[in-house]
């Protein structure tokens, strides 16, 4: 079997670390592995399987022997370094927002639109964490019933911001419980024992980038520009796992039994919906879970087309690292490194 | 000026304690104050102004000299003791769910429907906390524009459950941070660093009581049974202050400037809506606040009638104790102890 040279760019970050874990679990046929990060991490040692890797920084020619490079270094760094990596011949899977809405770049959730992978021009984009878990959860409903409208309110974990935010929630919680002064650095307001209804920067229309991502990425992934998505994105004091309260309006009246059948037949989700027995998804349950968790199914009290659901996903794994590795796995299995 | 004999039933609980604080601040003309609680609190001493009160338990005749009794002892205890209190001649303001949907019982938010107070037949009901803050926030819009539909997702503080839940969140947070075993007693799942999408018991249609309260209480308070309300009620690891992500569909297309004018002219709310300067409501801000906080105003991305907003309220004060005392104040000021 052919083996591949793979680079992880951003290997010391929260998502990069998870990418390494997932790579190990998925056992891709790797020949050479390069771990790349910012200059301040240069020289750090990282253990992977039985080998020790030295973290490198980006330099001219570093991607020349790389087949697939998984990037997770944020939008501005992606824009800075990805053109070089493409030029040097690597196929890029980028976790940032930099190229997601570029018409030349496929935006991929492998369970939904893998056929678009081969249309890459050197770059494939990984969607935003809150989008991935929502589209995986509603994919079978979109395929069978068509969705007209989505209202989604998120309850997002601090790990989506990164390791610094995880530390901030820990430190603030400790300080608050000990009645010490609570310091805020990462977020503009205290996140411990609070909710902060703003994620990413705000646009002129009042929506944040995070809210607009849920709109435009959902439409692009489903290749359905009639779906109307309006979102409210909120940070909550949770370490791992995003939750979403979702209202769907389907194009036609539906039968709840059919919805349950569609969801429980979908191998990519786990339906946990027995509230009378206290069974429903919570973010703590997602820590060891690669599937998307769905529960609290209810018919809109006033509309035959309306469906309420509660969706929980592991924002670091399926929301970022796992999705990127699944794209790499698809490329390898289908031998489409150079497009279809 | 006439002075009144007032009883607080449930005086040792979280809401009862807040009722005493609010009574002090509002300086109602009180002749005699009786503090009543369950038998296990009998004999406890509570300081109020310069006097010490001994907590009493309910006994025959205890309400005979009482003009107004504020109850906050939960639905089943309300049903047990309120008939006696009415029989003995007290006017009841009940904070529980027991009588809210009774056609003979007015359900009152004094800023919205005070004229209904005088139609009481001995009992006036205080709405649920999550309803009160939502209807106060949208009252001016309902009056000027009429609301067709509401989708609301809540982010509710543990203090809504009571003092035991406040202790549980503290204990669980401490244990989790210290990597000790986390014990769950009050809630069926860990609430520290988690979200729990179920509040109160679940009905056959899949909705919880908490979600249905938002529906039926909103319609009764506005006396508008055309408003369609569908809710998802979620507990979050916050001590005080409920947050709500609300989608409103108004009956007609609207101009955002008019909405801003209506909201900023409403003396009962505080509009905090400059997300570009990190100004928006958070539950921590509600701890010292009796007004309802509103922010993150946005027009639906796909509908001229859709409006998104973020609403935060103090669930213990305006959501319970303050609303009840405001009802008592209205009764006293308008001299309608025995109905209109």
Mean pLDDT by 10 residues, chain A (340 residues): 94 93 93 96 93 96 98 96 97 97 97 96 97 98 98 97 95 98 98 98 97 98 98 98 98 98 98 98 95 98 97 94 97 84
The number of C-alpha atoms within 13 Å of B264 and in the hemisphere containing its C-beta is: 9
Q: Which of B296, B297, B315 to mutate to test the interface with A (most CBs of A within 10 A)?
A: B296
Burial classification of residue B321, based on how many CB atoms lie within 10 Å of its CB (0-12 exposed, 13-18 middle, 19 or more buried)? buried
Residues near B103 by beta carbon (within 8 Å), at least 6 away in sequence: none
> Is B275's CB within 8 Å of A243's CB?
no
Domains of chain B from N-terminus onward = 4-127+320-333 (3.40.50.720), 131-315 (3.30.360.10)
Q: Assess B189–A contact: CB distance below 8 Å, yes or no.
A: yes
Question: Which residues in chain A have their CB less than 8 angstroms from residue B300's CB?
Answer: 230
Quick one: average pLDDT of B288-299?
Answer: 96
Residue B153 predicted with pLDDT over 90: yes
Structure tokens at B149: 């539909």
Nearest residue on chain A to B244, alpha-carbon basis: A153
Share of chain B above pLDDT 70, in %: 99
Nearest to A111 by CA among A332, A337, A339, A322: A322
Structure letter (DSSP) for residue B315 = T
Count of positions (residues) in chain A: 340
pLDDT, residue B336, reads 87
Residues B29, B1 contacting (CB under 8 angstroms): yes
Of the candidates A243, A301, A308, which has its C-beta nearest B228's C-beta? A301
Collapse the DSSP code of B48 into the 3-class scheme (helix H, G, I; strand E, B; otherwise coil) and give the result.
Answer: strand
Backbone angles phi, psi at A34, to 5 degrees: -115, 130
Residues B166, B249 contacting (CB under 8 angstroms): no
Q: Assess B302–A contact: CB distance below 8 Å, yes or no.
A: yes
Nearest to A254 by CA among A141, A334, A90: A141
Structure letter (DSSP) for residue B206 = S
Neighbours of B288 (CB within 10 A): 9
CA dihedral B210, B212, B215, B216 (to 10 degrees): -110
Q: β-strand B91-94 against B123-125: which pairing, if any?
A: parallel
For residues A82 and A237, what is the distance between their CA atoms, to the nearest angstrom? 33
For residues A72 and A128, what is the distance between their CA atoms, to the nearest angstrom? 12
Start-end of H helices in chain A: 14-26, 75-87, 129-145, 163-177, 209-222, 256-265, 322-333
Burial classification of residue B61, based on how many CB atoms lie within 10 Å of its CB (0-12 exposed, 13-18 middle, 19 or more buried)? exposed
pLDDT, residue B144, reads 97
Regarding pTM above 0.90, the answer is yes
Start-end of H helices in B148-292: 163-177, 209-222, 256-265
Residue B272 predicted with pLDDT over 70: yes
For residues A176 and B1, what is the distance between their CA atoms, to the nearest angstrom? 46
- pLDDT digit string, tens, across residues A125-175: 999 999 999 999 999 999 999 999 999 999 999 999 999 999 999 999 999
For residues B132 and B83, what is the distance between their CA atoms, to the nearest angstrom? 25
Task: Look up the ipTM and state it.
Answer: 0.96
Nearest to A243 by CA among A198, A303, A295: A295
> Is B237's CB within 8 Å of A193's CB?
yes
Positions of A annotated as catalytic residues are 129, 242
Structure letter (DSSP) for residue A111 = T
Residues B139, B218 contacting (CB under 8 angstroms): no
The reply to whether B302 belongs to the active site is no
> Is A155's CB within 8 Å of B300's CB?
no
Residue B340 predicted with pLDDT over 80: no
Q: What separation in angstroms does the CA of A299 have from each of A269, A306, A308?
A: 20, 6, 6
For residues A312 and A308, what is the distance between their CA atoms, to the nearest angstrom? 14
Of the candidates A189, A197, A228, which has its C-beta nearest B301's C-beta? A228
Structure letter (DSSP) for residue A151 = E
What residues does A294 pair with on adjacent strands?
A271, A311
The CB-based long-range contact list for B30-33 (8 Å cut-off, 24+ gap) reads B30/B3, B30/B4, B30/B5, B30/B6, B31/B3, B31/B4, B31/B5, B32/B5, B32/B6, B32/B65, B33/B5, B33/B6, B33/B7, B33/B8
Q: Please give the helix or strand (H or E) that residue B85 lies within, else none.
A: helix B75-87
Q: What separation in angstroms does the CA of A212 have from each of A196, A227, A275?
A: 17, 13, 32
Residue B339 predicted with pLDDT over 70: no
pLDDT, residue A340, reads 54
Of the candidates B149, B173, B215, which has its C-beta nearest A173's C-beta? B173
Structure tokens at A125: 């984009």
Mean pLDDT of chain A: 96
Backbone angles phi, psi at B289, to 5 degrees: -130, 125
């Amino acid at each position: 079997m052919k083996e591949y040279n793979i680079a992880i760019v951003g290997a010391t970050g929260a998502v990069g670390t998870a990418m390494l874990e997932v790579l190990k679990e998925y056992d891709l046929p790797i020949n050479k592995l390069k771990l790349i990060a910012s200059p301040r991490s240069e020289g750090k040692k990282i253990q992977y399987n039985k080998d020790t890797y030295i973290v490198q920084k980006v330099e001219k020619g570093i991607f020349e022997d790389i087949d697939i490079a998984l990037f997770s270094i944020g939008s501005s760094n992606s824009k800075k370094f990805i053109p070089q990596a493409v030029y040097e011949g690597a196929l890029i899977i980028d976790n940032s927002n930099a190229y997601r809405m570029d018409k030349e770049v496929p935006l991929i959730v492998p369970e939904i639109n893998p056929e678009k992978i081969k249309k890459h021009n050197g770059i494939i984009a990984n969607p935003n964490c809150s989008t991935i878990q929502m589209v995986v959860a509603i994919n079978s409903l979109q395929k069978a019933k068509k969705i007209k409208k989505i209202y989604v309110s998120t309850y997002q974990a601090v790990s989506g911001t990164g390791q610094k935010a995880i530390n901030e929630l820990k430190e603030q919680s400790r300080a608050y419980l000990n009645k010490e002064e609570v310091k805020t650095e990462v977020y503009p307001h205290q996140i411990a024992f609070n909710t902060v209804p703003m994620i990413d920067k705000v646009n002129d229309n009042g929506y944040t980038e995070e809210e607009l991502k849920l709109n435009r990425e959902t439409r692009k992934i489903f290749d359905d520009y009639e779906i109307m998505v309006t979102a409210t994105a909120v940070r909550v004091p949770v370490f791992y796992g995003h939750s979403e309260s979702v209202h769907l309006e389907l194009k036609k009246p539906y039968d709840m039994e059919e919805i349950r059948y569609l969801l429980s037949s979908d191998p990519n989700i786990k339906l946990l919906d027995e509230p009378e027995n206290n069974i429903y998804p919570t973010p703590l349950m997602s820590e060891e879970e690669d599937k998307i968790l769905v529960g609290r199914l209810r018919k809109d009290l006033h509309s035959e087309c309306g469906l309420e659901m509660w969706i929980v996903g592991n924002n670091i794994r399926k929301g970022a690292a796992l999705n990127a590795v699944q794209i790499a796995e698809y490329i390898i299995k289908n031998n489409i490194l150079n497009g279809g």
